[in-house]
Amino acid sequence: MAFTPLFLNAEKHGPILVVGGGEIAAAKTEALASVGAKVQIIAENLSQGIITLCEQHSFDYHQTPYNHDFLEGKKIVVAATDNDDLNTEIATECNKRSIWVNVVDNPDLCDFIFPALVRRGPLQIAISSSGIAPVLARIIKQRIEMAVPESFENLVKYLRQRKAALRIVHKKLQPRRLLGEDILNGPIAEEVLEGNIQRADELLDETIKNLPDTKQGALYLIGTGPGHPELITLKAIRLISQADVILYDRLIPQSIISQYARKDAVKMAVGKTRNHHLKEQQDIDGLIEEHLGKNNIVVRLKGGDPGIFAHGAEEIDIARKMNCPYQIIPGVSAANGCAAYAGIPLTERGKTLSVRFLTLYTKTLHDEDFWQSLKHAKKETFVFYMSTLHYGFLCEKLQEIGFSGETPLVVIEQGTTPYHKEYISTIGTFEQDHDSSTFASPCTMIIGDVARLAKQNQWKEEQPSSGEYFPYLDSEKKYA
């Protein structure tokens, strides 16, 4: 059952008919009154409380048995009696007449449901569990009530009063939008919330003078973490919401884009897998240059951290060449995130004092200088990225250069996601233990003494179901 969230202009639809005269009907009537809706009440028995409510708001009420004639001309009806058969009858008649109906405590009969509502003047935040768990919706409402102070109503009024003036000052959409974000995220909003309107106006005038009425391009390289959508920084969320263009890799939780990106932002998949590149790196570089040239704010979303095996340097070079501002916003790396979810500290006091982030490129496989550089690193932790095809070869080479076959390792598949899975072994037994395993991308292999802790410190339960958390790259497509 899916309910589409809507905010309805009740004034255009005439009075809402509420059938019922008890506590439930009173609660619904009071909720409707709180948002300015007009209500008509019908019930054979009306409580004094609901009569008082109707008189307080000048609502029409009739203490009489319900009949279908009361539905004539109505567009919205609430069935709030304590008689299930009557509520069902009302819903049936409403359906025949194409009238929207809400039947209290019966979502299956409802065309719409009432959300838990947080109101700050014209600002309304609606929370719904689709009728499944009203208590959960109420708890979330309470948390939002605490997070959004009552004084936010003053901020909404302030913005409404100055909206026309701001449109005149900045005619172009992007600078006007950025000005709005400056107002809401900075000292202007704080002054309004404290009731210091004169000081807020002074700050607003100063901000307007210093902001150009032209678009300004910028490049933000943002790490979104290894997969869990909550492992993203607050700064990353703020900058994603500013983006005109979002170029995103395959290993990006789709909810990050759907929740934080503007609906009108251009969203383009540019991800890669080993055998399939939607865009080659030179194509991605070209897109960055093209959109920076149009003075767009470009966000480049990368899985994990944008500074680890992510072509960050060459993409920054484009912004520098074009004299555009840029920032690198770090993310939780695959090494840190996957290790944490596997219960593994990457270093251990007195035992493992350093960490290396590595990957096996094809040209590295037979580079003896590379392997010799690892020979004396037996007390380090190795974290291998993007090397799944070469795990067996890697274990053999490490033993060849002197590593004990008992050196522990763990392969973490789709780490931090709902399909997080761990394969615990040693470099001497890995091929025997996992020769038939087909690892889902992405995988990270952690090698070293700390990997022994995976079994005893494990806190992330393996889920009974399995699947691919990140989408395959069938075609280039945009999020709606």
The phi-psi region of residue 248 (left if phi > 0; otherwise alpha if psi is between -120 and 50; otherwise beta) is beta
In angstroms, the CA 296 to CA 215 distance is 7
CATH code for position 277? 3.40.1010.10
417 and 320 inside one domain: no
340 and 325 inside one domain: no
Peptide bond preceding 442 in cis form (omega within 30 of 0): yes
pLDDT bracket for residue 39 (50, 70, 90): very high
In angstroms, the CA 220 to CA 19 distance is 55
pLDDT bracket for residue 186 (50, 70, 90): confident
State percent of the chain over pLDDT 70.
95
In angstroms, the CA 430 to CA 408 distance is 10
- Amino acid, single-letter form, for residue 339: A
Q: What is the pLDDT of residues 134-159, one digit of tens each?
A: 889 889 999 998 888 888 888 888 88
Computed on alpha carbons and rounded to an integer, the radius of gyration of the chain in Å comes to 30
With respect to residue 103, please indicate whether it lies within any of the assigned structural domains: yes
The stretch 340-364 carries a mean pLDDT of: 93
With respect to residue 7, please indicate whether it lies within any of the assigned structural domains: no
- At which of 311, 332, 353 does a domain end? 332
Q: Cβ-count burial of 422 within 10 angstroms (0-12 exposed, 13-18 middle, 19+ buried)?
A: buried
With respect to residue 201, please indicate whether it lies within any of the assigned structural domains: yes
- Which residue range is the domain that position 195 belongs to? 152-210
For residue 147, give both structure tokens. Answer: 């997070």
Catalytic residues: 249, 272
323 and 342 inside one domain: no
With respect to residue 468, please indicate whether it lies within any of the assigned structural domains: no
pLDDT greater at residue 445 or residue 242 = 445
With respect to residue 425, please indicate whether it lies within any of the assigned structural domains: yes
Angstrom CA distances, 25 to 70, 158, 321, stand at 16, 36, 66
Beta carbons of 109 and 98 less than 8 angstroms apart: no
State percent of the chain over pLDDT 90.
61
347 and 451 inside one domain: yes
What pLDDT shows up at residue 178?
Answer: 78
- Amino acid, single-letter form, for residue 268: M
Return the H-helix or E-strand segment holding 51.
Answer: helix 48-57
452 and 343 inside one domain: yes
The stretch 287-294 carries a mean pLDDT of: 95
The answer on pLDDT for 273 being more than 80 is no
Instruction: Quote the number of domains for the chain.
Output: 4
Backbone φ, ψ for residue 461 (5° rounding): -70, 140
- At which of 161, 177, 210 does a domain end? 210
pLDDT bracket for residue 478 (50, 70, 90): very low
315 and 396 inside one domain: no
The answer on pLDDT for 168 being more than 80 is no
Residue length of the chain = 480
What pLDDT shows up at residue 354?
Answer: 95
What pLDDT shows up at residue 479?
Answer: 34
For residue 275, give both structure tokens. Answer: 């055998």
What pLDDT shows up at residue 116?
Answer: 87
What pLDDT shows up at residue 43?
Answer: 95
With respect to residue 417, please indicate whether it lies within any of the assigned structural domains: yes
With respect to residue 410, please indicate whether it lies within any of the assigned structural domains: yes
355 and 438 inside one domain: yes
Helix (H), strand (E) counts: the chain? 17, 19
With respect to residue 91, please indicate whether it lies within any of the assigned structural domains: yes
Q: How many C-beta neighbours within 10 Å does residue 371 have?
A: 16
In angstroms, the CA 227 to CA 230 distance is 9
Beta carbons of 37 and 63 less than 8 angstroms apart: no
The mean of the pLDDT values for the chain is 89
42 and 21 inside one domain: yes
228 and 321 inside one domain: yes
Angstrom CA distances, 418 to 247, 290, 344, 388, 413, stand at 24, 37, 18, 20, 11
CATH code for position 88? 3.40.50.720
pLDDT greater at residue 396 or residue 217 = 396
323 and 340 inside one domain: no
278 and 363 inside one domain: no
186 and 296 inside one domain: no
- At which of 283, 313, 332 does a domain end? 332
Q: What is the pLDDT of residues 397-456, one digit of tens each?
A: 999 999 999 999 999 999 999 999 999 999 999 999 987 678 889 999 999 999 999 999
The stretch 227-255 carries a mean pLDDT of: 93
pLDDT bracket for residue 380 (50, 70, 90): very high
